[in-house]
């Protein structure tokens, strides 16, 4: 019998705990240790029955894991990834890969120089819904994709910000923490983004970040995207509130992405394809939707399975450090444009 793959987690907060649950649900992997200096992390480690350590280097030394999941606050991602890469340890870094493209580049350079696989935690790509949407778009059913609309609106309670002070600090606003997921999915579904214009409104609850932002993206294909994000709007339209990935968000039956093509349009995550029933597109003809049924599966668990295959079978990371960097480059462009009021061009070589 093959031995299970030994994984460790650095940072046992909100998402670190979900990784621990995902590891418990995925056969063939085992959580051998966690590092988290906070008392709450230590208490959680004891509850899970997993050895606890105060720091990442100490944990690596003691448990000798085969792969590490970095689920610490974003400002620590790059430094912790470098600790792992230095020890030739494959790493799954939560999104975003780093706080800036320049910082993330150090991770890419170190990983490529040492040949260590890095996976960035854009877990929504492992959702079967997204796999199906990708298949629909690449099959050409929609014709040429001309426009995309994404809505990421929800209301985070004050307790969310009070629980972890870094969430109120500069750089941890909803563009960086939430829209990064949507940008990653839209890049995956519609291709590279080459330019961005954005506007943001400062938080009305005293955080150092925006609490509403709107961005206009131009894709390499010529398609245009409009995205809005807010953590201060009470609404049902976001991936979180519609995709049923995480039970902590009570689900609605709404959609949050509209992808418009020259022959048909797709709404997600309800996976409905709207067309003029096989006839030539014409606004004077009836239009109706076909629902594409898709089995649900937890993308975090599927991501852990993939991380195991990256570690043990040498499978190429589905979302590599470079891929995570391209998504971060778009986020950085949105933040930059919102600050200066200028359009920001994104060159292919920027990540
Ligand atoms: N993929 C997703 O859907 C998703 C969801 C939430 C958060 N995230 C990302 O995960 C990261 C963490 O977010 P969170 O909401 O879980 O934060 P959190 O504040 O809830 O948890 C962070 C944990 O890291 C611990 N920590 C701090 N310094 C550490 C260190 N030096 N070594 C080890 N542990 C340390 C903290 O004590 C805390 O327990 C962020 O980058 C965030 O963007 C991703």
Assign residue 88 a region: left if phi > 0, alpha if psi is -120 to 50, beta otherwise? Answer: left
Q: Is the pLDDT of residue 351 over 70?
A: no
Place of tokens 């925006």: 210
User: pLDDT value at position 324?
Assistant: 97
- pLDDT tens digits along 184-224: 999 999 999 999 999 999 999 999 999 999 999 999 999 99
- The pLDDT mean for the chain works out to 96
Helices (DSSP H) in the chain: which residue ranges?
Answer: 14-25, 39-48, 56-63, 77-86, 101-114, 128-139, 158-163, 174, 180-190, 239-242, 299-313, 321-340
Q: Which domains does the chain have, with CATH numbers?
A: 5-124+299-319 (3.40.50.720), 126-296+330-345 (3.30.360.10)
Contact 5, 67 (CB under 8 A): yes
Q: Is the pLDDT of residue 348 over 80?
A: no
To test ligand 1's pocket by mutation, which of 22, 70, 94, 298 has the most ligand atoms within 8 angstroms of CB? 94
Q: Does ligand 1 come within 6 angstroms of the Cβ of 36?
A: yes
Report which ligand 1 atom has the smallest distance to the Cα of 12: 39
State how far the alpha carbon of 248 is from the alpha carbons of 186, 226, 233, 240, 327, in Å.
24, 27, 18, 9, 26
To test ligand 1's pocket by mutation, which of 10, 16, 159, 243 has the most ligand atoms within 8 angstroms of CB? 16
Which residues neighbour 329 within 8 Å (Cβ) at sequence distance 6 or greater?
101, 346, 350, 351
CB atoms within 10 A of CB 338: 21
Which tokens in the block code for residue 47?
A: 């509850």
């Amino acid at each position: 019998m093959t031995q299970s793959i030994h994984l460790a987690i650095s940072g046992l907060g909100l998402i670190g705990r979900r990784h621990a649950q995902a590891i418990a649900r995925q056969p063939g992997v085992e959580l051998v240790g966690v590092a988290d200096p906070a008392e709450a992390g230590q208490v959680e480690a004891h509850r899970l029955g997993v050895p606890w350590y105060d720091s990442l280097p100490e944990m690596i030394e003691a448990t000798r894991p085969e792969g590490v999941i970095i689920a610490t606050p974003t400002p620590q991602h790059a430094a912790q990834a470098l600790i792992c890469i230095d020890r030739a340890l494959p790493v799954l870094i939560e999104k975003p890969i780093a706080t800036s493209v320049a910082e993330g580049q150090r991770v890419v350079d170190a990983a490529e120089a040492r040949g260590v696989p890095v996976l960035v935690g854009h877990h929504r790509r492992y959702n079967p819904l997204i796999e199906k949407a990708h298949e629909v778009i690449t099959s050409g059913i929609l014709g040429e994709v001309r426009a995309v609309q994404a809505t990421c609106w929800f209301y985070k309670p004050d307790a969310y910000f009070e629980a972890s002070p870094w969430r109120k600090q500069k750089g941890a606003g909803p563009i960086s923490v939430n829209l990064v997921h949507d940008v990653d999915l839209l890049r995956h579904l519609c291709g590279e983004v080459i330019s961005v214009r954005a506007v943001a409104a400062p938080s009305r609850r005293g955080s150092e970040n925006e609490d509403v932002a709107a961005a206009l993206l131009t894709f390499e294909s010529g398609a245009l995207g409009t995205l809005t994000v807010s953590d201060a709007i009470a609404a049902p339209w976001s991936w979180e509130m519609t995709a049923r990935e995480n039970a902590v968000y009570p689900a609605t039956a709404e959609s949050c992405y509209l992808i418009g093509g020259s022959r048909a349009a797709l709404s997600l995550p309800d996976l409905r394809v709207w067309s003029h029933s096989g006839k030539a597109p014409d606004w004077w003809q009836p239009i109706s939707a076909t629902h594409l049924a898709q089995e649900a599966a937890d993308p975090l668990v599927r991501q852990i399975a993939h991380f195991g295959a990256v570690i043990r079978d040498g499978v190429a990371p589905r979302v590599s450090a470079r891929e995570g960097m391209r998504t971060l480059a778009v986020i950085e462009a949105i933040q930059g444009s919102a600050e200066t009021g200028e359009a920001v061009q994104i060159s292919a070589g920027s990540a």
